[in-house]
Amino acid sequence: MNPPLLQVRGVSRWFGGLRAVDEVSFDLTGHEIVGLIGPNGAGKTTLFETISGFIRPTKGTVTFDGRDITGQPPHRLARLGIGRTFQIVQPFRDVSVLENVIAGVVGPNRETSDARAEAMAVLTRVKLDHRAAALARNLSLPEKKRLEIARALATRPRLLLLDEVMAGLTPAEIDDIMVILADIRNGGIALLIVEHVMRAIMSLSDRLVVMANGRKIAEGLPAAVAADPSVIEAYLGRRHHGAA
């Protein structure tokens, strides 16, 4: 059996006395969609920032494709094949949608014969090709979310970290994103998804990792996790993050 694509081992991140992430470990294999869920303040985003290199872990190691990437800067991780999106969309506002995606194509500094054509192909994949010439700041929120995905996809990642790409969207728009994400996975890219939209994460994820108060409290198949009493108590029981 192949070693997992991503191995998170005992990762902790403390801010002063606060243990935002506390000894979290999990694996992710090459063609998997893993959902990372938990109540607000559980440490999901901090863990995410740690895996993508924007925050250094206080303790623990992260291994990608068999190599230790702990503490590596984000641009190097992107070049190794870890793409990410931001919870609050961060497009290059004053340039066109196409230029945003071309920046993603050429960003990792690898050979490309035709960056523009490659960017257009990515835009088609997320159904944003009709907006290629628009300025990024003029996009609607659902379009901006898709641009965020397109740009990360353009770096040709092997693992894509998606931070709440469905937040603030209508059910129909969420359905669109789910189709896109399933298509991305079918194209051979593993996904780690932080999401509050339960309906989407339950149906998309192969496995779930549940966090609360910085710790991993459960891991497993969505149905099994949903039935786990500790998860129900920490998260689903309170129902304040019900399906959008």
Partner 1 sequence: MKPMLVLGLAVALLAGAAPLLSIYGQHIFVLVALYGAVALAWNILGGMAGQMSLGHALFVGAGAYVSTALYLNLGVSPWIGLVAAAAIGGALGALMGYAVFRRKLSGVYFALVTLALAEMALHIVSNVPALGGANGLAIPSKPDFASFQFASKLGFCYAALAILAIVSAVILAIHRSRLGYVFLAIRENERSAAALGIDVVQGKVIAAAISGALAALVGPVYANYVLFIDPESVLGVPLSIDALVFSFVGGLGSLFGPLLGAVVLVPLTELLRGMLAGRLAGVHLIVYGVILILVMRLAPRGLWGLLVDSMARRQK
Long-range own/partner contacts, residues 136-139 (CB < 8 A, 24 or more apart) = 136/91, 136/92, 136/93, 136/94, 136/95, 136/96, 136/97, 136/100, 137/91, 137/93, 137/94, 139/91, 139/97
In DSSP terms, 85 is beta-bridged to: none
Q: Which residue type is seen at 114?
A: D
Considering only residues 21, 33, 51, 78, which one is a binding residue for partner 1 as defined by CB under 8 A? 78
Rounded CA separation 31/153 (Å): 15
In DSSP terms, 193 is beta-bridged to: 35, 162
Rounded CA separation 162/141 (Å): 16
Using rule CB under 8 A, residue 14 touches partner 1: no
The span of 4-12, 84-92, 167-175, 203-211 binding partner 1 (CB under 8 A) equals 84-92
* Total H helices, total E strands in the chain: 9, 10
Which two structure tokens, joined as six digits, stand for 113?
A: 């014969």
Using rule CB under 8 A, residue 99 touches partner 1: yes
Considering only residues 44, 125, 145, 151, which one is a binding residue for partner 1 as defined by CB under 8 A? 151
The span of 2-10, 18-26, 96-104, 179-187 binding partner 1 (CB under 8 A) equals 96-104
Using rule CB under 8 A, residue 206 touches partner 1: no
Q: Rounded to 5 degrees, what angle do the CA atoms 135, 138, 144 make?
A: 95
Rounded CA separation 81/195 (Å): 22
Q: What is the helix (H) or strand (E) element at residue 174, kind and residue range? A: helix 171-186
Considering only residues 63, 95, 168, 241, which one is a binding residue for partner 1 as defined by CB under 8 A? 95
- Measured from the CB atom, the residue of 95 and 244 that comes closer to partner 1 is 95
Shortest distance (Å) from residue 141 CB to partner 1: 17
Considering only residues 2, 109, 113, 186, which one is a binding residue for partner 1 as defined by CB under 8 A? 109
Using rule CB under 8 A, residue 155 touches partner 1: yes
Using rule CB under 8 A, residue 52 touches partner 1: yes
Shortest distance (Å) from residue 122 CB to partner 1: 12
- Measured from the CB atom, the residue of 23 and 99 that comes closer to partner 1 is 99
- Measured from the CB atom, the residue of 90 and 140 that comes closer to partner 1 is 90
How many residues bind partner 1, per CB under 8 A?
A: 29
By the criterion CB under 8 A, which residues form the site for partner 1?
52-54, 73-75, 78-79, 83-84, 86, 90-95, 99, 102-104, 106-109, 151-152, 154-155
